[in-house]
Amino acid sequence: MVALSLKSMVKSMFGLSIFPFNKSALTVLAISSALLVSQAQAASNSHHHRVKKAHATKSGSHKSKIAHNKVSKKSKQKVLTAKASKQRHVLQLAEDTRPSAGDMAGLKHIDALALASNVAFVVDQDSSKVLFEKNAEVSLPIASITKLMTSLVVVEAKQDLTEMIDITADDLDKEKGTGSRLAIGAKLSRADLLHIALMSSENRAASALGRSYPGGLPAFVAAMNAKAKQLGMNDTSYVDSSGLSSKNVASARDLVKLINAAYQYPLIREYSTDSKYAVNPKGKQLLEYGTTNKLVASSDWNIGLQKTGYIAEAGRCLVMQAIIEGRAVVMVFLDSKGKYSRLADAGRIKKWITAMHPQG
């Protein structure tokens, strides 16, 4: 085939017939032709390699740019998250330094145990013997401690805990403007709403519980106040089911009565002392909640019921029933300053009882 091609090439170039050439000449021409073909293929391969390399370089550069952009976006997101966290911290500090109702009433922090709470009341649950008292008669805002009464009204009304309830615009916080992980349109059972209201102090859940009561929220608040009166809570008043309003007020002495009443219901004890719980709102993503009181997960504590609360007017609040040195103790702390101070106050009381063993 090479010979035939060579024949044609020579004839075309010189206008001569190939046959006058001898064998040696033909061989030389064949080798030359093969070399020309090889060089052409090599040149073609080199060109293809350069094109491929240039494409790879361009593609690599594009991928590198995309990766760089991704890293930049992640870095930017981290910066924004850190900035938002810092802003929340600054806002929280500003809230914590605002004068509370207790401050404006002239209540003092100083007491024998150096508690950080303006109000403290500790009682032996079985004998009702007062173990420690500080400003226990003063009626103050109680924030989300309100949700204990909310749960008591729901449970005693024997409402269907399996009934599905929608979160609506009526459940938005118009008092403080706080947010919530429960979006409008989320649908949960009454049991789930009660669970996260007690354990995680979910405000929209508490609002929905009150709103879904026969007669709506006004009837529910009336039932809350009627129950308070029945329990002899004479320094107590409620205006909502969540505790966001500073008009929800009670004295520490009154709250011991509420704790004892709520403690009679295993469901309230269970939900309030759970440390984690997940809900799956219909049509929404799974939501995992945690307790607002880290003491419930501590092996150093045996807590039978608890609830935390906070708004600026109330300060940090905490109520608990716990077994200390074999005795059931009810403790109330209101208007504490600092995020963990109410928990530290509970620890001080526990240490004091353990050391002193006051007899009931």
Question: Which of 100, 117, 144, 151 is flagged as catalytic?
Answer: 144
Listed residue (215, 214, 196, 216) closest to 206, CA to CA: 196
Pairwise CA distance, residues 322 & 124, whole Å: 10
46 part of the active site: no
Pairwise CA distance, residues 164 & 219, whole Å: 20
Question: Which of 117, 134, 139, 147 is flagged as catalytic?
Answer: 147
DSSP 87-125: HHHHHHHHHHHS--HHHHTT-----TT--SEEEEEEEET
201 part of the active site: yes
Q: What count of other Cβ atoms lies within 10 Å of the Cβ of residue 157? A: 11
DSSP 243: S
100 part of the active site: no
Question: Which of 139, 201, 207, 212 is flagged as catalytic?
Answer: 201
Measured between alpha carbons, how far apart are the two ends of the chain, in Å? 118
CB 29 within 8 A of CB 6: yes
Tell me the catalytic residues. 144, 147, 201
